[in-house]
Chains A and B, each alone.
Chain A
Amino acid sequence: MKEEFGKSPVVTTIALAWRLIRINPALWTIFSLIVLFSIIVPEKFLSASNMVAIMKSFAVTAMLSVGPTFVILMGSIDVSYMGVWMFGGALVWLLYPYLGLASILIYPVFGLLVGIVNGYIHVKAKIPSFILTLAVTAVFAFLTTYVRNVSGVLTLTVPAYNFLRESPIPFLPSPFLLALPTIALAIFFMFFTKVGTYLCAIGSNEEGASLAGIDVKKYKIIAFMLSGFLTGLGSIAIFVHLGNQTRVDFDPSELIRGLAAIVLGGTPLAGGMGGPHRTLMGALVYVLIFNGLFLLPGVDPNHLKLYIGTLLLAAVIVASKALKGALIA
C-alpha cells in the first residue's frame, strides 16, 4: 500500500520504460541511432526506398542470428548457420529438377539434420561447440563451392522461385515477409514453451538446472536442433533476397554478422540471459549502423567490412560491461 501511494501514472510509466530499457539495452541504441541519422542525413535516411532496404537487410541479419541465439543462450555457440545457409541453397538447386517447387523445403529439413548431428556430437563426444560447428561450416562451404565448380555454372540460381520475390503488400519487401514465420516460431519457443526457460536455466547455472530435474543433455541437443531448423527456415528469406540463389564463396564477415547481432542485442556469449527477442533488436542495431554509415558522406563503402569486425569487438566489450551487474549476481 505504501508503495502505491503518491505515485502518478506518469511516474509508473516512466519507471516501466526505464526497466524495459535497463533490461534491453539495445532499445536505447536503436532509438539513438534513428535520431542521429535522421538529423545528419534526413533525406537519404528517411526515404521510402531506404526503409525498404533496411527491412531487407534486417531480415537477412535476423535470419542468420535468431537460430544460433538458442545455443548461445544455453552457454555453447553455434556458427554452423553459414554452412546451413550455403549448402542448403546448393541442395535446393541440385534437387529442383526432381522435386520441383517443393525443393525449397529441403532448407529447414537440412537445417534440422545439421542441428541433430551437431547436438549429438557436442553432447556425446564432448567436443567444444565452437570448433565443431566451425568445422561443419568449413565442410559445407567447401561442398557448395565444389558443386558450383563441378556443374560448371557461375551461380546456383533457381529462377522458378521468382514469384517469391514479388511482395503482395507495398513497402513490405518479400524477404521481410518470409522472415516473419521464423521470428514467430523463435518467440513462441522462447516464451510459450518450457524449452526457452530450460535453455536459459542451463546457461545460467548448469548444475542447478540438473539438480532441478532437467535432462541437461537432451535439452542441449534440442538447442542445436532448434538452431539448425530455424536457420534453415530463415535461409529461405536470404535465398530469395539474393535473387533465388545461394552464396558460393565463404565470407567471414557474414559469419560475424550473425554473432554481432546476437551480442549487440544483449545475449552474452556466456549464455544464461537474453533470447531471440533481444537478437531481433540487435539485428536492427547492426543494420541501422551499416545503413547509416553507408549514407554518410566521406565514408568509403569498401571499408565497411573492416567496421564489421571492429563493431563485434566493441559490442563484446560494451555488452560485457553493461551486463556486468546482472552477470555477477
Chain B
Amino acid sequence: MKYFLIALDIIYVERKMTSSQAVLVEARNITKTFDTVVRALDGVSIEVRKREILSVVGENGAGKSTLMKILVGIHPPDSGELYYLGERIPFPKNPIDALKRGISIVYQERGVIPHLKVYQFLFLGLEDKFTKLGRLQLEKIIGTAKSVFDELGIKCDLGSYLYELPLSTQKMVEIARAILSIRLATGEGKEGEVTPLIILDEPTAPLSIEERDELFDYLLNLKKENSFIFVSHIIPEVMKFSDRVYVLRDGKIVAHHDLSAEKVTEEELFREIVGRESYYELLARYGYGQEQPEERPTVLTVRNLTKKGYYTDISFDIHKGECVGLFGPAGCGKSEVAKTLYGVLSFDKGKIIMDGHELKAKGGPYSRIQKGLGYFSGETGKELFLYWPIRKNVSIINFEKVVRKHLVAVPVISLRLEKSLAEKIVKRLRIRAPSVDTECYSLSGGNKQKVSVGKWLEKSPKVLILEDPTIGIDVGAREDIYEVLLEMKRNGISMLLVSDDPKEYAILCDKILMLKEGMVQRVCTNEEFRGLMGL
C-alpha cells in the first residue's frame, strides 16, 4: 500500500513536467477506408510527446487498432502526414521499418509464445547480431538479457519458461522485448537520442487487479526514458496513469484532454466515448424497461458466487420475464460472471440454483443448455460456423425441431423442416440474405449477429445470457435485435445482460447490478440507472 502511494506521488510529480515536453511523433489528418465503404479513420490527428503515457480510448470498432496499425506500418493510410521530431517522414511500410523509427507495438494477447524460455523470447527474431557462423552466442545473449532486465527492473529467472511466469511479468517481458528491438534496430546503445515509442494494445485485458498495479508501476518507471501509447477502454486506469487522453469515436477524434492541466471526471470521459446523442431515438422508441406484474416466479438464483481473482460474493435473483444487467467498467468481473453461469468458467464458492436444481461448478455449456440456459455473444465469429449455411447454423441448437423419426428409430434431419425453420427466422429478423443456403461468412456484421440471436429465438431458453449483443453493428440492425429481445422478454424469457453500452441496459433491463472490482456496489432499478448515467 505504501509503495502504491509512492507510485501515485510519482504520477503527480511527473505530470507537472509533461506539458513542456517536446513532441516526438505527430500524425496529421489520417484517413483510412476499408472496402471503399467503411471509413475506419476520418481525418485523425494525434501527437505523442517525449516521455509520456498517452491514452487512446474508444469503443470497439472506433478505429483505435486501425490507427495503431497505421503507425507501425501494417496498414498504409489513404492520406495523411507523419512527423518525427518536427520533420516530415513517410509512413512506415512494415513493422521493421517502424522499428527503425523507434516505434514498436505490444499486441493484446497473441504476442506471447508460452513455451519459450525468457531469454529466447526476448531475442526472438533479433538473434542475427548475436550469432557467429550460425552458432548462437548464448553467454552474450544471456548477459545482455540480464543487463536489460536489471536496467528495466524486471525480476524473474531468465531460464524459466514464459508460461511459468505470472501474466503481468509476461507483459513486462514483452514490453522489454519491444524496447530491445527498437534499440537494436536503431543501432543505439544503452542510452541514445532515440526515445522509443511503444504502443500497448489493451495490455491489461487478461490481468487481475493486483497484476495491473504491478504493470503500471513498471510503466511509470519506464516512462522516464520511453513514450507509450496506451490503447484501452478501461476508464479508471486511463484516468489514473496517463498524461493525456484522446477519445476516438466512429473514426474521429472527438475529445482531447491534458489530464495534468484540466479536471475530467470518469463519467464525462465515459459519455464522450459512447456518444449519447444517437441513443435518444432508440430510447424514445422502445421505452425504458417494461412494466411487469409484481408476482413472478424466480427462475434463477445466484448466491455468494465467488471466483478467486475475478469476482466475490455475487448474489441476485432473476424472475420470469425479467432482465438483469451487470454493469461496470471492463475488468470488473461482469463477463466472467456471465461465462460462469453458462458453464464456460467454473466457480470456487457459492450456489447457482435454476428452477430448484443446483448447478454444478464444472458443468460445461452442454449441461447448462439442457437445464434451459442460452448464451448469445455479439462477438462475430465466436458462435457462428462461418462456412456453414444459415439453416445449419440455426438448426445446430434446434435439432429436435428439424428431425423426423421415420421407420427407423434414428432421428433423420429433414432438409425441408430445416429450411422452413431458418426461413421463419430470416423473415422475422429481416436478415438480408439471398437464401437460407447462403454461407454466413458472406453476410454483413449485423446480419451475422441476427442469425446468432435468431437461433435462440426458436430454442426459447428459460434464461438467455447476453454478452455485448449489439457490439460493432449499425443502428438499424441494433433496432431489429432489440425488438426481438424485447419480444422474447414479453414471452417470459428471462435475461442477463453484460455490455459496455449503458443505453442497452436502459432499453432492456429491469434491474441493474453495479459492479466494481468484482464486487456488487449497488443494485438499482432502470429509472435510478438512467438517472445515474444521465440518459
Contacts and interface: CB of A to CB of B under 8 A. Distances in A.
A194 B114 contact: no
Interface in A190-222: 192-194, 197-198, 200-201, 203-205, 207-209, 211-214
Interface in B106-127: 107, 110-116, 120-121, 124-125, 127
Given A201-B113, A207-B110, A212 B135 contact: no
A208 B112 contact: yes
A326 interface: yes
Contacts, number: 63
Centre residue among A193, A204, A209, A212 by max chain B CB count within 10 A: A212
Centre residue among B110, B116, B135 by max chain A CB count within 10 A: B116
B127 A194 contact: yes
Contacts of B110: 205, 207-208, 211
Given A213-B96, A329-B163, A197 B120 contact: yes
A273 B114 CA distance: 9
Contacts of B112: 205, 208
A297 B96 CA distance: 65
Given A326-B163, A329-B164, A211 B107 contact: yes
B127 A273 contact: no
B280 to A, nearest CB: 42
Number of chain A interface residues as a range: 20 to 34
Contacts of A194: 127, 131, 136
Given A213-B96, A214-B125, A205 B164 contact: no
Contacts of B124: 197-198, 201, 209, 212-214
Interface in B3-44: none
Contacts of B163: 326, 329
13 contacts: A192-B136, A200-B113, A201-B113, A203-B115, A204-B113, A204-B115, A204-B116, A207-B110, A211-B107, A212-B124, A212-B125, A214-B125, A272-B114
Nearest to B96: A213
Interface string A317-329: 0000000001001
Interface string A299-329: 0000000000000000000000000001001
Nearest to B119: A197
Interface of B: 95-96, 107, 110-116, 120-121, 124-125, 127, 131, 134-136, 138, 161, 163-164
Given A197-B120, A201-B116, A192 B95 contact: no
Contacts of B120: 197, 200-201
Nearest to A271: B115
A207 B112 CA distance: 10
A326 B164 CA distance: 8
Centre residue among B95, B114, B134 by max chain A CB count within 10 A: B114
A111 B310 CA distance: 53
Contact of A193 (B111, B116, B125, B136): B136
A268 B424 CA distance: 47
Contact of A192 (B107, B115, B135, B164): B135
Contacts of B113: 200-201, 204-205, 208-209, 212
A213 B74 CA distance: 12
A214 B124 CA distance: 8
Contact of B134 (A193, A203, A214): A193
Contacts of B135: 192-193
A197 B116 contact: yes
Contacts of B95: 213
Centre residue among A194, A201, A203 by max chain B CB count within 10 A: A194
A273 B115 contact: yes
Contacts of B96: 213
A197 B116 CA distance: 7
Contacts of A212: 111, 113, 124-125
A201 B121 CA distance: 8
A208 B125 contact: no
Centre residue among B95, B115, B120, B121 by max chain A CB count within 10 A: B115
Contacts of A272: 114-115
Contacts of B138: 192
A135 to B, nearest CB: 26
A320 B118 CA distance: 24
Contact of A205 (B114, B127, B136): B114
A211 B111 contact: yes
A270 B131 CA distance: 29
Contacts of B114: 204-205, 272, 329
B127 A200 contact: no
Contacts of A213: 95-96, 124-125
Given A197-B116, A197-B124, A208-B112, 5 more contacts: A193-B134, A201-B113, A201-B116, A205-B110, A213-B96
